[in-house]
Amino acid sequence: MKPEAKALLGKARDSLQAGKLLSREGYADFAASRAYYPMLYAAQALLLERGLSFSKHTAVIGAFGREFAKSGSLDVKYHRYLIDAQDFRNLGDYGAGSALTADQAKQVIDWAAEFLAKAQTQIE
């Protein structure tokens, strides 16, 4: 595993824990936003292992779709999780008031945990 990919997976684990903490404390918007990042970091790590690197979120998501979902390397649901989590992140970060519910935050956290576990397995 490349050192950069290992560092991204570590950051992903920390972000997942932060999302869980925010959720437990009742900050659904911020929990969902933070829970998006484990998926982004894991996708970046997977792409790095293939020699690909992107700085924009949309570029990472698009490349992940091409490299892993479309090719059949990973179930397409992981690409959908990433896309939907980004939408929740945008709502949580930029929506007026409390845009997301506790259930929505929990859903993103569950997706992130599953996504991260799959990415770690795939890389190792």
Q: What local confidence, expressed as pLDDT, does residue 104 receive?
A: 95
Question: If you search the block for the tokens 């970046």, which residue do you land on?
Answer: 44
What does pLDDT average to in each consecutive run of 10 residues of the chain (124 residues)? 94 98 96 97 97 96 96 95 95 82 96 97 91
Residue 94 burial (C-beta neighbours within 10 Å; 0-12, 13-18, 19+): exposed
Nearest 5°: CA angle at 97, between 87 and 56?
Answer: 30
Nearest 5°: CA angle at 24, between 16 and 15?
Answer: 15
CATH of domain 3-123: 1.20.120.330
Cβ(39)–Cβ(109) below 8 Å: no
Q: What local confidence, expressed as pLDDT, does residue 46 receive?
A: 97
Question: If you search the block for the tokens 């404390």, which residue do you land on?
Answer: 25
Q: What local confidence, expressed as pLDDT, does residue 124 receive?
A: 85
Cβ(76)–Cβ(3) below 8 Å: no
pTM: 0.94
Angle between helix 102-123 and 3-24 (nearest 10): 160
Q: What local confidence, expressed as pLDDT, does residue 95 receive?
A: 79
Q: What local confidence, expressed as pLDDT, does residue 92 receive?
A: 87
